[in-house]
Amino acid sequence: MNFLITAGSPSSPIDKVRRVGTIFTGRTGAQIAQIAWTRGHSVTFLTSNPERLPEIPADAGLSERRLQPILYSNVDDLAALVQQQVRSKAFDVVIHAAGSTDYLVAGSFAPELGTYFNTRTKEWDARGKPKMVEQPADRINTAEPELWVRLVRAPRLIERLRDWGYRGLVVRFTIELGKSDGELRGAAEFTRKQSGADLVVASTMDSLAHWSLIGPVDGRYERVPRREVADRLMLVIEHMRRTGQGSWHDHE
């Protein structure tokens, strides 16, 4: 099969040297890419972390070089790469393991002299009308005693795949906060349906280093030790391919 796998932490720049991003390293995505390649599949691997690139043996022949790593730096780069890839190549599977960027930076601002935010009342105070001074896009003024970064909702890349003409299998990763196992299953299925994904790998912040849920597999979510997630996910995808489940069934 032909895989497109995203990994790492897409960021949104505050200026040329500062960014807003997530804590994710891209390790899981790299593990999945490595296993897919080892099992004979072709992989296009988009990552923000070059140190997490899968390894290809030095003596691999041309026929074995089925793994193409592509680096990206920010949210816009990743979205443009995914769009370009799915519109120009015939992928069977897209695995979106990159950290989700829910908000984009839409400018940074410093309170004008005489304007300040009252942390006790949670209100702005000013001699007149509160005013903010926008910071330069290339480099914010570090002499300012206080800066405010404006964040706006980011489009969800996973939900744009079908608009770009992609018709294969979609695997989505999601992390929830403060949910029990049962609540996590419900949240994972809701997220899957909302985004049009075929499979979801779901975790909580507490479980992330220990286990994840993968599903739906035969109508249910399986609890899988974290070290086995990449292997188990690949086996599930291959099984769905053989049996024509998911989006393959819908578009055959």
**CATH number of domain containing 19:** 3.40.50.10300
Helices 27-38 and 229-243 meet at what angle, rounded to 10?
Answer: 50
Q: What is the DSSP string of 46-68?
A: EES-GGGPPP--TT--GGG--EE
> Which of 133, 152, 171 is a domain's end point?
152
Residue 230 exposure: Cα atoms within 13 Å on the Cβ side: 18
141 and 162 co-located in one domain? no
How far is it, in rounded angstroms, from Cα 35 to Cα 54? 9
48 and 111 co-located in one domain? no
The answer to whether the beta carbons of residues 150 and 108 sit under 8 Å apart is yes
111 and 6 co-located in one domain? no
Residue 211 exposure: Cα atoms within 13 Å on the Cβ side: 9
The three-class DSSP label of residue 216 is strand
pLDDT on residue 71: 92
181 and 118 co-located in one domain? no
Structurally, the chain folds into a number of domains equal to: 2
pLDDT (tens digit, 9 = 90+) per residue, 53-80?
777 666 665 566 788 899 998 888 999 9
> Which of 118, 134, 152 is a domain's end point?
152
> Which of 114, 132, 152 is a domain's end point?
152
120 and 166 co-located in one domain? no
Full-model pTM: 0.88
pLDDT on residue 252: 46
68 and 85 co-located in one domain? yes
Question: Domain range spanning residue 217?
Answer: 2-102+156-251
The answer to whether the beta carbons of residues 169 and 240 sit under 8 Å apart is yes
161 and 229 co-located in one domain? yes
pLDDT in tens, the chain (252 residues): 999 999 998 888 888 888 887 777 789 999 999 999 999 999 999 999 877 777 766 666 556 678 889 999 888 899 999 999 999 999 999 999 998 778 889 999 999 988 999 999 999 999 889 999 999 888 888 888 899 999 998 888 888 998 999 999 999 999 888 888 889 999 999 999 988 899 999 999 888 889 999 999 988 999 999 999 999 999 999 999 988 887 765 544
68 and 91 co-located in one domain? yes
144 and 202 co-located in one domain? no
Both tokens of 88, joined, read 């120009």
81 and 130 co-located in one domain? no
178 and 91 co-located in one domain? yes
160 and 236 co-located in one domain? yes
